[in-house]
């Protein structure tokens, strides 16, 4: 009976670990990670809009910020991946939208 209980416990732990790996970060975690990665100035002109299929969409309030952030896209993605997890965000997309 002891070995069966150990096996069940291991299965349960692996299931919970898998769920945690697959879980998307919360909106608060995304907003916090974005503010830290982008900086306060850029964060005032942007807002994370959605996270689907590991693509984070960021709304930007004007075309000049859209252009500037697009130039920094690679660095911003790396910073976000360090804060939120490489496996959680694979792509970053900017669009003009409501902030």
The pLDDT of residue 19: 47
The pLDDT of residue 93: 97
| Neighbour-count burial of 68, counting CB atoms closer than 10 A to its CB (0-12 exposed, 13-18 middle, 19+ buried) | middle
State how far the Cα of 67 lies from the Cα of 94, in Å rounded to an integer. Answer: 9
Q: Where are the beta strands (DSSP E) in 22-97?
A: 46-52, 55-60, 91-96
Q: Which residue has the higher pLDDT, 60 or 21?
A: 60
pTM of the model: 0.76
| Neighbour-count burial of 27, counting CB atoms closer than 10 A to its CB (0-12 exposed, 13-18 middle, 19+ buried) | exposed
Beta-carbon contacts of residue 84 (< 8 Å; ≥ 6 apart): 25, 29, 30, 33
The pLDDT of residue 29: 87
CB 93, CB 58: distance < 8 Å: yes
For the residues 38-51, what does the mean pLDDT come to?
Answer: 95
- Kindly tell me if the per-residue pLDDT of 73 is higher than 70: yes
Q: Residue ranges per domain, the chain?
A: 24-96
CATH number of 24-96: 3.30.300.180
């Amino acid at each position: 009976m002891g070995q069966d209980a150990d096996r069940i416990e291991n299965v349960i732990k692996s299931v919970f670990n898998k769920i945690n790996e697959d879980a998307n970060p919360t909106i608060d975690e995304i907003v916090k990670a974005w503010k830290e990665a982008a900086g306060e100035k850029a964060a005032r002109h942007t807002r994370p809009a959605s996270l689907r299929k590991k693509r984070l969409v960021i709304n930007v309030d004007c075309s000049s910020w859209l252009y500037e952030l697009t130039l920094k896209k690679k660095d911003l993605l790396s910073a976000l991946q360090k804060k939120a997890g490489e496996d959680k965000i694979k792509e970053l997309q900017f669009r003009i939208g409501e902030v």
